[in-house]
Structure 1
């Protein structure tokens, strides 16, 4: 099922819980697997998605996203899953493995060394979306990625703040999601691929 107007439809799905999520540690680009709760969340998310028709599955190559995608793919009959490095989580550099509070104590005046600028993460996330639209026009795609990247993408595309842990919603309150044909900045038109894209958000239940 594509968007109602034939546009490519993408559901952004955040990966399930890991032990670092449970302990509220910054993960970033560190490759941490799902825990049992995260696998259960992925199964539940697959059941939710199975109520609709999907034609493709893509994920970040990090294991917590790939495993979430594999579990969802089993529920949807979609395999194998393709990966895109542009969907990797924002890197937190030297702060990875620390709580946010600990990181703030270590580096009170700015981000930890090696932290990726959110603007850079968003640019590659948008590139991943454009690639999907161009490679799979008219498809309905499940894209499994990461919390900070999802939030940055949504704020970039919507032009409005997004809560740290948004729950399932589409991007304007309509069942088919938001058509991304807004201008990016000033008089600069959005990339043509974005005019053929509708999106929704499905977040697995964990926080952190």
Structure 2
């Protein structure tokens, strides 16, 4: 079994944040690799982002997104009226010539795709962007991509491999005494009741 990277150039700052992946796109629906392709949300993706607004209904110290429209449009719909900072460091991985091919053709995350971005380079730029946000705000909201969460997962449990994060579902990522914890996030109890049945099982570091 291969390991993703034995030497880390950076580590995720041990501060809490909320992460949400963008809503559905057509490439998501077709089970295709969606890297730097700047595709819009589908009508379902926009509905998913609007639904997330009930779970994210609070003032945020900082909202950051990638510069790709599927992320910043999700932020516009999920936290309306709150300004979002667009960071290129949070853009999805550049999959090079593999972009828009079937997910079944996607290689291991540690492999460098032809004409694309190496895992080490991708991880370094994502961590720089995340750590900048974590250092400047108390519990920021990060609206980004499944690949960004794989970088987070690699920091938390040592591997990027695992289930793909659902579209437009927020998670609280926080350090604890026994390591990092990742749980579904809703802003207040009434939102939790409204969301009941609409959230997937917790993603756990255990």
Tell me if TM exceeds 0.5. yes
TM-fit CA distance, 1:115: 2.3
The within-5 A match list for 1:6-85 is 8-50=15-57, 53-74=59-80, 77-78=81-82, 80-85=83-88
Q: Measured at CA, do residues 170 and 114 of structure 1 come closer, stay the same or move farther in structure 2, by a change above 3 Å?
A: same
2:84 is equivalent to residue 95 of structure 1: no
List gaps (5 residues or longer) in structure 1.
Answer: 1-6, 105-109, 172-176, 183-196
Matches within 5 A, 1:156-195: 156-160=155-159, 163-166=162-165, 169-171=171-173, 177-179=174-176
CA contact (8 A) 2:65 2:143 kept: yes
* TM-score, reference length from structure 2: 0.69
Q: How many aligned residue pairs are there? A: 169
Unaligned runs of 5+ in 2: 1-13, 186-197, 201-206
User: Given the superposition, is the C-alpha separation of residues 132 and 180 from structure 1 closer, same or farther in structure 2, using an over 3 Å criterion?
Assistant: farther
- Check conservation: 1:10, 1:141, Cα contact below 8 A: yes
1:61 CA displacement: 0.5
Q: Shift of the alpha carbon at 1:113?
A: 1.4
Matches of 1:161 and 1:87, distance apart in 2: 16
1:125, CA displacement in angstroms? 1.2
Counterpart in the other structure of 1:191: none
Contact kept, 8 Å, 2:151 with 2:160, in 1: the verdict is no
What is the CA–CA distance in structure 2 between the aligned matches of 1:15 and 1:111, rounded to whole Å? Answer: 24
CA distance in 1, matches of 2:123, 2:177: 15
Greater mean alpha carbon deviation, residues 126-135 or residues 87-96 = 126-135
Could you tell me how far apart the structure 1 residues matched to 2:130 and 2:46 are?
25
Deviation track 1:173-197 (CA, whole Å, cap 9, x = no partner) reads: xxxx225998xxxxxxxxxxxxxx9
SS of the residue aligned with 2:141? Answer: strand
Instruction: Give the TM-score normalised by structure 1.
Output: 0.69
- C-alpha deviations, 1:82-122, integer Å up to 9, x for none? 11110000111001121133567xxxxx7541121222211
Q: CA RMSD in A?
A: 3.2
The answer to whether the 8 Å contact 1:60/1:144 transfers is: yes
Distance 2:78 2:181 in 1: 21
Tell me the equivalent position of 1:145: 144
